[in-house]
């Protein structure tokens, strides 16, 4: 079956599922394969639960009238996503970077939805499966789609760009994330910059942080760009009024107070302002959108529990975001500061050095207590309290719960440090 024919079927049944636990009536089930599962085996279950067709790539599971047999289910999903992207008139804004992608995406969507019909990546569906799924959520009525792109190795962003074919793009930053896959910090810059290369090759518009020297250098010879800056009067001026604890900024005399903690969220808010300005959203509406945005899903959330104020930033971590979080918490006006930091993953050969750096930074800061959690932090040379496993930490906290403290919780997703909330 050709992609054109499959797309006609999709337009008749425009809901896609890749999980039999989330089947909806008359959806299309794509039987993806992974290291430990084969979606072909669940095709019959999907049909029984209400799917109209199951797309399979193993003839043993092909049932005429119920399944559509293709050569490769994942490749078909990707090709269908790209075909649909070009079928719909929506303009695509692509977003990548080492830190802050999801928060920035949500802020941009909040701002642009004030004046346009928008679609944005849900959660972190930002990989070779998630991007085509997001593209397939675009409708003919959608005007702007914000597509988040994640990557952990060279050429991944290039591939995702080939699927989404963005008209606009923004890179949040170049940090020490996924070093194991990219090979080095320079590898991260090369990999993320693949978004720049695509847009430059297709005369797309690039949004950028004019105060980031890497971005300035990369874009110095490119004309179709729009940037923000605190100091460069030739760019859109956005002033950082500080973050204690919430980020405040000023644009053309208008003050905007977000619900985001940490000075590192200033740039996330700023690009949302810039893009809103570019697409002619009134500043008053931009202000309302940013001030109305509430962080969630373990990202920069502020939670009050048992007389403790908790900054929960446990969705993910790398050396760059960890350093920023610690430095911001250090200067915050708060009493009885307690820090829980968990291992950072995918650092490859740099893991020992980077964990030692963070441990030293935490030890030199003005915190009342610091808890290091995980195998990597346990191996550091530090006088801070260390716990090899979460269970060891849990036993300690049950006997020594923090009281009336300001608490920062930060760690990689695999550490699941939000479990601390159940203990304290």
pLDDT tens for 335-367 read 899 999 999 998 988 999 999 999 999 999 999
- DSSP string over 289-325: HHHH----TTSSEEEEETTEEEEEE-S---HHHHHHH
Average pLDDT over residues 379-397: 96
- Count of domains observed in the chain: 3
What does the alpha-carbon distance between residue 373 and residue 339 come to, in Å, rounded to a whole number?
11
Q: 358 — phi, psi (to 5°)?
A: -65, -40
Asked whether the predicted pLDDT for residue 177 surpasses 70, the reply is: no
What does the alpha-carbon distance between residue 317 and residue 62 come to, in Å, rounded to a whole number?
43
The verdict on residue 76 lying in a domain is: no
Domain boundary among the residues 275, 292, 309 is at 292
The verdict on residue 160 lying in a domain is: yes
Omega within 30 of 0 (cis) for the link into 94: no
* Distant-in-sequence, close-in-space partners of 78: CB < 8 Å, separation ≥ 6: 128, 132, 163
The verdict on residue 108 lying in a domain is: yes
- Asked if residue 335 and residue 268 are part of one domain, the reply reads no
Domain span holding position 45: 3-70
- Asked if residue 245 and residue 117 are part of one domain, the reply reads yes
The verdict on residue 396 lying in a domain is: yes
Instruction: Give the closest residue to 129 by CA, choosing from 289, 17, 13.
Output: 17
- Give me the sheet containing 406-410, strands edge to edge: 301-305, 308-313, 406-410, 337-342, 369-373, 385-387
pLDDT tens digit sequence for 76-127: 999 999 999 999 999 999 999 988 899 999 999 999 999 999 999 998 799 9
pLDDT at 77: 98
As a whole number, the mean pLDDT across the chain is 94
Q: What is the CATH number of the domain that holds 226?
A: 3.40.1190.10
Q: What band does 178 get if pLDDT is binned at 50, 70 and 90?
A: low
- Asked if residue 288 and residue 305 are part of one domain, the reply reads no
The verdict on residue 80 lying in a domain is: no
- DSSP letter for 27, please: P
Q: What is the CATH number of the domain that holds 52?
A: 3.40.1390.10
- Asked if residue 262 and residue 121 are part of one domain, the reply reads yes
- Asked if residue 262 and residue 120 are part of one domain, the reply reads yes
pLDDT tens digit sequence for 397-424: 999 999 999 999 999 999 999 999 999 9
The verdict on residue 336 lying in a domain is: yes
- Asked if residue 93 and residue 56 are part of one domain, the reply reads no
- Asked if residue 122 and residue 228 are part of one domain, the reply reads yes
- Asked if residue 392 and residue 328 are part of one domain, the reply reads yes
- Asked if residue 169 and residue 60 are part of one domain, the reply reads no
Helices (H) and strands (E) in the chain, counts: 17, 20
Domain boundary among the residues 258, 292, 326 is at 292
């Amino acid at each position: 079956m050709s992609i054109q024919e499959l797309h006609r079927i999709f337009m008749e049944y425009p809901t896609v599922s890749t999980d039999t636990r989330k089947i909806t009536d008359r959806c299309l089930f794509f039987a993806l394969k992974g290291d430990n599962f084969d979606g072909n085996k669940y095709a019959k279950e999907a049909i029984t639960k209400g799917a109209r067709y199951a797309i399979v790539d193993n003839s043993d599971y092909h049932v005429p009238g119920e399944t559509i047999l293709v050569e490769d289910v994942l490749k078909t999903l990707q090709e269908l996503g790209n075909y649909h992207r070009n079928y719909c008139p929506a303009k695509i804004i692509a977003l990548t970077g080492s830190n802050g992608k999801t928060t920035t995406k949500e802020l941009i969507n909040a701002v642009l939805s004030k004046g346009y019909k928008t679609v944005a990546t849900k959660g972190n569906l930002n990989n070779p499966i998630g991007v085509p799924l997001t593209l397939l959520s675009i409708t003919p009525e959608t005007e702007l789609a914000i597509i988040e792109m994640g990557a952990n190795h060279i050429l991944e962003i290039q591939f995702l760009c080939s699927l989404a074919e963005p008209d606009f793009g923004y890179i949040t930053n170049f940090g020490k994330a996924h070093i194991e896959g990219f090979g080095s910090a320079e590898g991260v810059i090369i990999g993320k910059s693949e978004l720049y290369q695509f847009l430059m090759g297709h005369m797309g518009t690039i949004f950028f942080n004019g105060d980031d020297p890497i971005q300035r250098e990369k874009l110095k010879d490119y004309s179709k760009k729009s940037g923000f800056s605190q100091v460069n009067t030739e760019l859109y001026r956005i002033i950082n009024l500080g973050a204690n604890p919430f980020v405040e900024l000023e644009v053309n005399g208008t003050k905007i107070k977000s619900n985001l903690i940490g000075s590192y969220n200033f740039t996330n808010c700023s690009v949302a302002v810039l893009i809103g300005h570019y697409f002619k959203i009134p500043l008053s509406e931009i202000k309302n959108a940013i001030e109305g945005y509430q962080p969630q899903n373990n990202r920069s959330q502020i939670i009050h529990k048992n007389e403790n104020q908790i900054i929960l930033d446990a969705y993910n971590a790398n050396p760059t975001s960890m350093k920023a979080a610690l430095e911001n918490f250090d200067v915050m006006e708060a009493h009885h500061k307690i820090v829980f930091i968990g291992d950072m993953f995918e650092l490859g050969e740099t893991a020992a050095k980077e964990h030692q750096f963070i441990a030293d930074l935490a030890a030199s800061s003005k915190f009342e207590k610091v808890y290091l959690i995980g195998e990597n932090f346990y191996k550091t040379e530090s006088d801070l309290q260390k716990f090899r496993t979460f269970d060891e930490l849990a036993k300690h906290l049950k006997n020594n719960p923090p009281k009336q403290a300001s608490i920062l919780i930060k760690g990689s997703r695999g550490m699941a440090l939000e479990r601390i909330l159940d203990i304290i």
